[in-house]
Amino acid sequence: LLAPAAPGPLAGHHVLVTSGPTREAIDPVRYISNHSSGKQGHAIARAAAEAGARVTLVTGPVSLPDPAGVATVHVESAREMLAAVEAALPATVAIFAAAVADWRVADVAGGKIKKGPGGPPALSFVENPDILATIAHRKQGRPDLVVGFAAETENVLDNARAKLARKGCDLIVANDVAVGTDTFGGDSNTVHLVGASGVETWARQSKDAVARALVAELGRRLAKA
Ligand code: CTP
Ligand code: CA
């Protein structure tokens, strides 16, 4: 006979994860977005489920399958992602791995914009809500652990420390996405964990391994809290 499986380190917890890019419409047939593949966020959702958590994954458009055993909510825009995140709370842990578009087009055209003698359209942009900062600064119903990501091409640690303070989260997972690092869309990642007590740098490893190590770290932090 097999002994019953030990409960995982995140058993009894609801973990919320955002993943993938967002898409911001220009008109009914065009959008702006970014190169996020969703691989790291989806791997974190899988790892959290394997650690025994109930997991909600809020994802922008990606070409990955929904992870098994994870409640997956599909959204397109940043504002839809924020609404889905708020609807999924409460959670004890929230991990914001999505590459949210910073701006959306101010006046989305109701019909397809046509070429014409007037030349190219002059698009103007407005800033999207910061989902991570909105949730981390909540007075009520804030998850116990709020984790952000920081994709940086330079001054990785300084920028990550500034984001930790500005966004009010507990931990920033900073990765270097400079040209040549192959992190966007690739299968491996070099990350720095930036928290109030300092920085820990992990050797380059697969995004699955980063996800498992991050989930183990969050389990330890929850146990201490
Ligand atoms: N984030 C978010 N909502 C936004 C923008 C970012 O939730 N509108 C989250 C990301 O999911 C990530 C963290 O904030 O966890 C940092 O994202 P990043 O793009 O690195 O930081 P920004 O504050 O947008 O700053 P910038 O792009 O100028 O570096
Ligand atoms: Ca950004």
ipTM computed for the complex = 0.99
Q: Ligand 1 pocket, 102 CB below 6 A?
A: yes
Q: If you measure from the C-alpha of residue 186 to the centroid of ligand 2, how many angstroms do you get, rounded to a whole number? A: 19
Q: pLDDT tens digit string along 37-92?
A: 999 999 999 999 999 999 999 999 999 999 999 999 999 999 999 999 999 999 99
Q: Quick check: CB of 130 below 6 Å from ligand 1?
A: yes
Element (H, E) at 145: strand 145-152
Q: Record the pTM.
A: 0.95
- For residues 64 and 23, give the distance between their C-alpha atoms in angstroms, rounded to a whole number: 16
Calpha distance 95→160 (Å, rounded): 15
Model confidence pLDDT, tens digit, residues 154-178: 999 999 999 999 999 999 999 888 7
Beta bridge partners of 175: 151, 191
